[in-house]
Amino acid sequence: MTEHRTLWAVSDLHVAAPGNRDLVDDLVRPEHPEDWLIVAGDVAERVSTVLKTLGRLTERFARVIWVPGNHELFCRSSDPHRGRDRYRELVDGCREIGVTTPEDSYPVFGGHTVVPMFTLYDHSWRDPALSVSEALTAAEGNGVMFTDQVAIAPFVDVPAWCRERLSYTVRRLSRVTGPTVLVNHWPLIREVTDKLVLPEIALWSGTRDTQDWPVRFRASTVVYGHLHIPLVREFDGVTHAEVSLGYPREHERSLPPRRDRRLWPFPVLTEVLP
């Protein structure tokens, strides 16, 4: 009998939300001991919870690949590590438990280079007639204000950090050959934000600078989360898969049909084992 292994993907586990931790325990399990798992951000808000959750997953999967979401970066001024330090703290913690991060060499699965990325957002997905501050003020006027503004923005210049992350990532991506799987908490192309009920959310959801990356860097699949709109769609021959679990009121409706079709956890690639 041929054996195969699978690269699975999930995101937005939000394990601090009621019931989500149990769901993760029940459903995020390998089918083969050689299966890998991508966790595309928003595991939880506390570093200890994030690392504990990832640690449990490393006991099940042959490899766990994690990228940060905005929730992992939420800080209070009393936290010892804020902004860039918070990210460093998470990466150091992941290294101790053997979880692959955007700071590690890119692993290869089924002939595809799997690229964990951390690119943030720069408020460039906005009405072009508005400046960044006008767009943020207008969003607030419509009642849309991301927690990021009080839990990330006071501790680091997010658009500047985004620019740094973009140049770091593009430098590394340029050295990759062959097909890729691009993994990022925030989506890479603006088209996938078209279903947002509150379009202002796009301000905190990505950057126009990654728009051509899926094609330019030969992605077969882009794995992302953040929007809590779990759809799998194709643009320019690339599959864009939102693999979020989301909050209870969201996955109450979105999870059963995905479970029925075996789409959560999302199977990104399978490989026949020798």
The site that binds Fe ion (CB under 5 A) totals a number of residues, namely 4
**Residue 228 near Fe ion by CB under 5 A:** no
Closest CA to 218 of 117, 118, 115, 65: 115
Place of tokens 């089924």: 110
- Residue 126 or 228 having the CB closest to Fe ion: 228
Closest CA to 94 of 65, 118, 60, 121: 65
Residues 102-161 within binding reach of Fe ion (CB under 5 A): none
d(CA 226, CA 40): 9
Closest CA to 140 of 187, 203, 185: 203
| Contact map string, positions 34 to 53, toward Fe ion, x by CB under 5 A | --------x-----------
Taking the complex as a whole, how short is the minimal distance between the CB of residue 58 and Fe ion, in angstroms? 22
**Residue 205 near Fe ion by CB under 5 A:** no
**Residue 193 near Fe ion by CB under 5 A:** no
**Residue 69 near Fe ion by CB under 5 A:** yes
Taking the complex as a whole, how short is the minimal distance between the CB of residue 69 and Fe ion, in angstroms? 4
**Residue 200 near Fe ion by CB under 5 A:** no
Using DSSP's 3-state secondary structure scheme, residue 107 falls into coil
d(CA 102, CA 55): 17
Which residue blocks in 64-191 are alpha helix, DSSP H? Answer: 84-96, 132-141, 148-151, 158-173
Q: Which stretch binds Fe ion (CB under 5 A): 61-69, 77-85, 192-200, 240-248?
A: 61-69
**Residue 187 near Fe ion by CB under 5 A:** no
- Name the site residues for Fe ion (rule: CB under 5 A): 42, 69-70, 226
